[in-house]
Amino acid sequence: MSRSSSSPAPKVYGWCPGALRPMMSGDGLVVRIRAPLGRLSQAQARAIAGLSQQHGNGLIDLSARANLQLRGISDQSHAAVMAGLQDMGLLDRDATTESRRNILLSPFWQPGDANHTIARSLERALKAAEDLLLPGKFGFVVDAGPEPQLQSCAADIRIERSGDKLLVVADGAQTGCPVEVETAAEAALDLARWFLDQGGASMGRGRMRALIARRAAPASHSSPRSSSAPEPSPGMTAFGPLVALEFGQITAEAFARLADHGPLRLTPWRMILVEGAPELATLPGVILDETDPRLQVRVCTGAPGCLQALSPTRDLARDLAPFVPKGQVLHISGCAKGCAHPGPAPLALTATATDTFDLIHHGKASDQPSIKTLSASALRTAPKILTEGS
């Protein structure tokens, strides 16, 4: 990885926070909620909003794995939050089970369809597989609709459609193993065991993509994959309105008001599907318009919410969004880790100190900059500098 010369190397934790194993951040504990099937009833959503308001800082993130994160939880109130989640049926029996149950499901599932059936089977199988000691970030994708939609989402094992076939795919491979709806979950667990047997994990870390770069997938993985459908935009769908959250975050108050319209399905696109709602009221930080310029900006938590952040990021994102050329993406990162957009972006700003950023063209947050040490005020005064010479 080429590194921006003016940004210090970020710390890599190698695990994700959960509810039972929260992570300390700059604004308190981050408590991550992995909703089964990525769905919250209206009562669950309102109760989560209440926990955020009572015990956190009133801000809720939606992660790229369709998990919610309550922010600003104190050590003292963590137990009360766990009790609240337990009452809602949203708590696993222990942190290991919670970590293993890392399933991202297409939000467009219907009761009894292939997505729903496979996700349920996989959830049961993972809960029962106590011998399966997978790395902390190891995850599964269930994407068995008419065409794959989650290929750009990080995962180690994918269950996805390819034409009239259903495939289990090792991330990084161009082919997969044909399975049936009834056998998909077990085949996914077999592939997870193969990953461990092949030495894919070491010291609790390791990803399937890295293993596949070193050795081929099993011989039975010979059916070609289909390519992914584009990421959806906010707007009405056959299942209800799909709304984007400004920079992947929402206030607890707006979250509760969103749930007044119907059960919520969490997506990996920083969007929420409001099940069956005919229309929505305008809510702060909730984007209904697919042309909203904020959709062209990817921005991480930044300071003070992230302990590693060298600068605040979100206000700058709000101010620069209208100046991002149509069809392009601006990534603003509080450090070189680039959590909000791990891949390259046409435009990237990486913090190097408080309100000071390196500008990278067509690269990742950690890549060599085109222009170093731009101040946030200079960017606000002359946002054209973003695209000059790009």
The residues with which 61 forms a beta bridge, in sequence order, are 69, 249
**What is the C-alpha separation between 168 and 221, in angstroms, rounded?**
8
Smallest separation (angstroms) from ligand SF4 to the CB of 25: 8
Residue pair 358/373 in contact (Cβ under 8 Å)? The answer is yes
Tell me the two tokens of residue 311. Answer: 């600068």
- Residue with smaller CB distance to ligand SF4, 63 or 149: 63
Among residue numbers 248 through 307, which ones bind ligand SF4 (CB under 6 A)? 300-302, 306
Stretch that binds ligand SF4, among 136-144, 205-213, 237-245, 329-337 (CB under 6 A): 329-337
Residue pair 249/294 in contact (Cβ under 8 Å)? The answer is no
- Residue with smaller CB distance to ligand SF4, 265 or 314: 314
Among 338, 346, 363, 369, binds ligand SF4 (CB under 6 A): 338
28 lies in the site for ligand SF4, by CB under 6 A: no
Among 298, 337, 341, 361, binds ligand SF4 (CB under 6 A): 337
- In the three-class reduction of DSSP (H, G, I as helix; E, B as strand; rest coil), residue 176 is classed as strand
Q: What length does the chain have?
A: 390
How would you classify the pairing of strands 68-73 and 264-266? unpaired
**What is the C-alpha separation between 36 and 44, in angstroms, rounded?**
12
107 lies in the site for ligand SF4, by CB under 6 A: no
- Residue with smaller CB distance to ligand SF4, 100 or 314: 314
Exposed/middle/buried for residue 247 (C-beta within 10 Å: 0-12, 13-18, 19+): buried
Task: Tell me, residue by residue from 365 to 384, as one string, x for binding to ligand SF4 by CB under 6 A and - for no binding.
Answer: --------------------
Smallest separation (angstroms) from ligand SF4 to the CB of 380: 20
Exposed/middle/buried for residue 279 (C-beta within 10 Å: 0-12, 13-18, 19+): exposed
Which single residue brings its beta carbon nearest to ligand SF4?
334
Smallest separation (angstroms) from ligand SF4 to the CB of 89: 30
Handedness of CA 313, 315, 320, 326 (dihedral sign): positive
348 lies in the site for ligand SF4, by CB under 6 A: no
360 lies in the site for ligand SF4, by CB under 6 A: no
Among residue numbers 299 through 318, which ones bind ligand SF4 (CB under 6 A)? 300-302, 306, 308-309
Among 335, 349, 360, 386, binds ligand SF4 (CB under 6 A): 335
Residue pair 17/32 in contact (Cβ under 8 Å)? The answer is yes
- Residue with smaller CB distance to ligand SF4, 12 or 213: 12
Tell me the two tokens of residue 101. Answer: 């149950």
Which of these, 83, 94, 102, 71, lies nearest to 20 by C-alpha position?
94
Smallest separation (angstroms) from ligand SF4 to the CB of 302: 6
Give me the residues that bind ligand SF4 (CB under 6 A), please: 10, 300-302, 306, 308-309, 333-335, 337-339
